[in-house]
Amino acid sequence: MIDPALLRPGRLDKSLLCGFPTLDERVDILVTISKSLTLGLEPDVNVPYFRDLARSPEMANFTGADLNALLVTAQLEAIHQQIDSNLNLNSETDQSKPKLRPRISRHLIHKALRESSRPSISASDRRRYDEIYDSFTGQRSSRTFQRASSSTIETLAQRPALA
């Protein structure tokens, strides 16, 4: 949301909408976040899986931060399961079983999606934001409005800061 005073001529020369990620952008975000997680992924948690996950209807209103929260929640669940498993292993008499490093599985991601991860913006709020964007683009036909894509954001991030 931008104060209308900032949109007067001479204030900002370009408005950039950082809207909801598209299907391909959600996949890219999931892949990128998964590379930065402390725990590894099960072999079947891969790009085709992330594409199927991102395509699911409940993911349509997820922002990048929501996708991050989903994977971090699944990671925490993997850690909790490992701790519980180690406690059970320690209470058994046979401690010759190797302790495996926890990994994030499809099951844990779906569990996080079902039980705790929700979009931070509701469908009604998204429609309201889309209407606001449409009203700006309609009122400001002489101004440039564009949707930020992944490549635009990467390009902007690579520019040196102004002194």
Residue 4 pLDDT exceeds 80: no
**CA pair distance 20, 24, nearest whole angstrom:** 11
What per-residue confidence (pLDDT) applies to 95? 58
Answering whether pTM is above 0.85, one says: no
CATH assignment of 16-88+100-158, given 2.40.50.140, 1.10.8.60, 1.20.58.1000, 3.90.1150.10?
Answer: 1.10.8.60
Domain boundaries, the chain: 16-88+100-158
Q: What is the structure's pLDDT at 11?
A: 76
Contact 80/88 with Cβ under 8 angstroms?
no
pLDDT, tens digit (0-9, with 9 covering 90-100), for 97-119: 666 788 999 999 999 999 988 89
Q: String of b and e for 16-46 (b: at least 16 CB within 10 Å)? A: eeeebbeeebbbbbbeebbeeeebebeeebe
pLDDT tens digit string along 16-27?
Answer: 677 789 999 999
Specify whether the CB–CB gap between 17 and 148 falls below 8 A.
yes
Residue-wise pLDDT for 21-53, tens only, equals 999 999 999 999 999 998 989 999 999 999 999
Residue at token pair 């892949």 = 31
* Region class of 73: left (phi > 0), else alpha (psi between -120 and 50), else beta: alpha
The reported pLDDT for the residue numbered 123 is: 87
Q: Which helix (H) or strand (E) holds 47?
A: helix 47-55
pLDDT per residue over 128-154, tens digit each? 888 888 887 775 544 444 555 555 445
Return d(Cα 91, Cα 13) in angstroms, integer: 66
